[in-house]
């Protein structure tokens, strides 16, 4: 554990904020793409689960619910880890450190979800119209990669002032 020389406090941990970013990124995906825009649901490309029938829509809503339970657990885990770290005397992060890791976590969520659900399992695509699913899926992956890279750069900018005081 690295310690701030001026205060003796342990530096902030990365893990809680990455978990928060993963969970919040999942919430953005689920709330915006699944519920508000209704572009897809968790299993909308699975045979027998079309969103054009009541039974298919019900199955998709249940799958979306389990997806949201997972994102809620990530946010809860990140929140608990944050409180534990602060109770251990770790410093609170500065805004670039914190925001950068949130964006990194969101980007990692998008990349993993895009590769696994869209490309490998093909349980759903971002959108099945306006250019075909592949173009939307690739755009989702590019957005995730940009969030990851930009978030990590922002985090590193915020970590530099912390590292200069560390021993």
Distances (CA, A) of 73 to 31, 69, 78, 158: 16, 6, 8, 27
Q: How far is residue 80's CA from residue 159's CA, in Å, rounded to a whole number?
A: 22
Per the confidence metrics, is the pTM higher than 0.75? yes
User: Using one digit for the tens of pLDDT, what is the confidence trace for 8-65?
Assistant: 567 788 999 999 999 999 999 999 999 999 999 999 888 888 888 999 999 999 999 9
User: Using one digit for the tens of pLDDT, what is the confidence trace for 107-138?
Assistant: 999 999 999 999 999 999 998 765 668 899 99
* Residue of 114, 67, 84 lying closest to 15 (CA atoms): 84
Q: Longest C-alpha distance within the chain, in Å?
A: 63
């Amino acid at each position: 554990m690295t310690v701030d020389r001026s205060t003796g406090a342990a530096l902030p941990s990365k893990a809680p904020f990455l978990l928060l970013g993963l969970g919040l990124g999942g919430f953005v995906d689920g709330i915006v793409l699944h519920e508000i825009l209704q572009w897809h649901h968790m299993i909308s490309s699975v045979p027998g689960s079309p969103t054009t029938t009541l039974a298919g829509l019900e199955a998709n809503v249940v799958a979306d619910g389990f997806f949201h339970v997972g994102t809620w657990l990530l946010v809860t885990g990140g929140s608990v880890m944050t409180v534990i770290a602060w109770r251990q005397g770790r410093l609170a992060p500065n805004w670039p450190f914190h925001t950068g890791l949130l964006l990194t976590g969101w980007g990692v969520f998008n990349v993993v979800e895009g590769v696994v659900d869209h490309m490998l399992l093909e349980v759903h695509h971002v959108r099945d119209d306006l250019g075909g699913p592949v173009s939307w899926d690739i755009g989702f992956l590019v957005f995730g990669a940009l969030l990851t890279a930009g978030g990590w750069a922002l985090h590193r900018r915020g970590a530099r002032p912390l590292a200069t005081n560390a021993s």
